[in-house]
Amino acid sequence: MAKEAKQEFVQHITPRNENFSQWYTDVVTQAELMDYTPVRGCMAMKPYGNRIWELIHEHLDAMFKETGHENVSMPMLIPESLLLKEAEHVEGFAPEVAWVTQGGVEPLQERLAVRPTSETIFCTMFAKWVHSWRDLPMKYNQWCSVMRWEKTTRPFLRTAEFWWQEGHTVHATPEESEEETQLMLNVYKTFCENKLAIPVYAGRKSDKEKFAGAQATYSVEAMMQDGKALQAGTSHNFGTNFSVPFNIQYLSKDGRLEYCHETSWGCSTRLIGAIIMTHGDERGLKLPPAIAPFQTVVLPIAAHKGGVIEKCTEVVEALRSDGIRVKFDDRDNVSPGWKFNEWELKGVPLRLEIGPKDIEKGQVTAVRRDTFEKTTLPLDDQLPAAVNKMLGDIQENMFRIALAFREAHTKDVSGMDELKSQVDGGYARAMWCGDRACEDRIKEETGATSRNMPFDQTPIGDKCVCCGKKADRVMYFAKAY
């Protein structure tokens, strides 16, 4: 009964089962993650939302550096002539490009694209920087914003301007570029599962769904609580598709000029949307401790009583000294109940309450955001260790819950009727013949798209889910954001 009462406490968040889309918008705005700006599709990230992105940035950047990558910065304006060098690439992005046509009061002789992605400018620079085999590999990454003039926008999930990282590397051989592509895909998978507590399916995209200009595209696909897919990261093997038109060559050990093999990989602020829709509830956000701006909030109870604020201060300092991100909410203009509500809305993983009775008993009251379980912890030198352990338990439990949900909403299907029913609330795993006509028909009749082909291609049948012809590929299908 207590949990049901808690669920009714917040009246301004639309229940998920009534309108999932409105629930998402309510959480994004009420948790103060972002706000709308005068330009359609462009958002302002508020401090709390920006801090989540900073933590994503910090964790991923460390992983990139561990795998031998260096950060660079490229300009945001790209001459039109560069985009036109790779035909498939420009065709894929042309409808979404924003153009600069005037500088000051003078018309520009050549239009400049506000970068929708940076392959072409990286290729231009690689052509200048790569000379011999000794220069390879070059493994670079940049953190920036890009612009794509989307027709339909939604905060974090699909905005005209969004923040991301984009890795770009050049290698001597196709084997090295494929190894890099797979390496970075695994980095995204590890990050999503270990830091965001989001299980993902990793695999190869179909030719229809691959990145414009890529030889092969791989993705990690997450499942949201409405059963829809969200692409959480992509890794592309370009082969020589860009190095040939951009003339990126190196002198090999035996003195021959060879074209480089390239990769590109990226993820964006849509990961914040993934966190919300994977873990959130009617209380609001539910943040994994690894990327929560505040892992713990300390709340004084009966703060006017002697010794309460002082003891809370001691606890905050001890937790902070142990590396725990902690918020001390000592506001005196709102009630403890108001504070409980606000920090649950903002998804803080663990709440510590300290009042006169707690101090007398030598304990603190701990409330978990993932389960609402209330317990006590000893108020002594071991408190930081106990809090860290509880945060670790919360992180693992959130992953287990998300994984159980995904497994319960993924089903093997063998025909179109089954597929259509399954993608209304989950992933369908099916055999596919590889024909684009079947992909197109599936999308037209069910609204689902192919997500990726898992690396484990153990057959679950021998006939295409769409046309019934012989099939040897396993594919995940789902409706998607």
- Name the residue among 414, 407, 410, 447 with its Cα closest to residue 432: 414
Task: Give all domains of the chain, ordered by start, each with its CATH number.
Answer: 2-279 (3.30.930.10), 296-390 (3.40.50.800), 410-478 (3.30.110.30)
Q: What is the token pair recorded at 376?
A: 């006590």
Query: In angstroms, rounded to a whole number, what is the distance separating the alpha carbons of residues 307 and 303?
Result: 8
Q: What is the token pair recorded at 1?
A: 């009964």
**Residue 11, pLDDT above cutoff 70:** no
**Residue 358, pLDDT above cutoff 50:** yes
Residue 199 has what pLDDT? 98
| pLDDT tens-digit map of 106-119 | 999 999 999 999 99
Q: What is the token pair recorded at 479?
A: 């409706």
- Name the residue among 133, 85, 113 with its Cα closest to residue 243: 85
Measured in residues, the chain has a length of 481
pTM over 0.85, yes/no:
yes
| pLDDT tens-digit map of 49-99 | 999 999 999 999 999 999 999 999 999 999 999 888 877 777 878 889 999
- Name the residue among 177, 178, 150 with its Cα closest to residue 162: 150
192-218: b (≥16 Cβ within 10 Å) or e = bbbbbbbbbbbbbbbeebbbbbbbbbb
Sequential DSSP letters for 347-393: T-SEEEEE-HHHHHHTEEEEEETTT--EEEEESSTTHHHHHHHHHHH
* Sequence-distant (≥ 6) Cβ neighbours of residue 423 within 8 angstroms: 227, 446, 447, 448, 477, 478, 479
Percent of the chain with pLDDT over 70: 98
| pLDDT tens-digit map of 35-56 | 999 999 999 999 999 999 999 9
**Residue 273, pLDDT above cutoff 80:** yes
User: Taking a C-beta distance cutoff of 8 angstroms, is the pair 315, 376 a contact?
Assistant: no
Alpha-carbon distances, residue 240 vs 69, 203, 297 (angstroms): 21, 22, 52
Identify the residue with better confidence: 91 or 28.
28
Residue 10 has what pLDDT? 54
Residue 8 has what pLDDT? 44
- How crowded is residue 26: how many other Cβ atoms within 10 Å of its Cβ? 20
Alpha-carbon distances, residue 142 vs 148, 236, 239, 467 (angstroms): 18, 16, 21, 43
Amino acid type, 269: T
| pLDDT tens-digit map of 150-178 | 889 999 999 999 999 999 999 999 999 99
Query: In angstroms, rounded to a whole number, what is the distance separating the alpha carbons of residues 385 and 387?
Result: 5
- Name the residue among 160, 161, 218 with its Cα closest to residue 188: 218
| pLDDT tens-digit map of 330-353 | 999 999 999 999 999 999 999 999
**Residue 4, pLDDT above cutoff 60:** no
* Sequence-distant (≥ 6) Cβ neighbours of residue 480 within 8 angstroms: 228, 229, 230, 231, 448, 449, 451
Query: In angstroms, rounded to a whole number, what is the distance separating the alpha carbons of residues 340 and 10?
Result: 11
**Residue 1, pLDDT above cutoff 60:** no
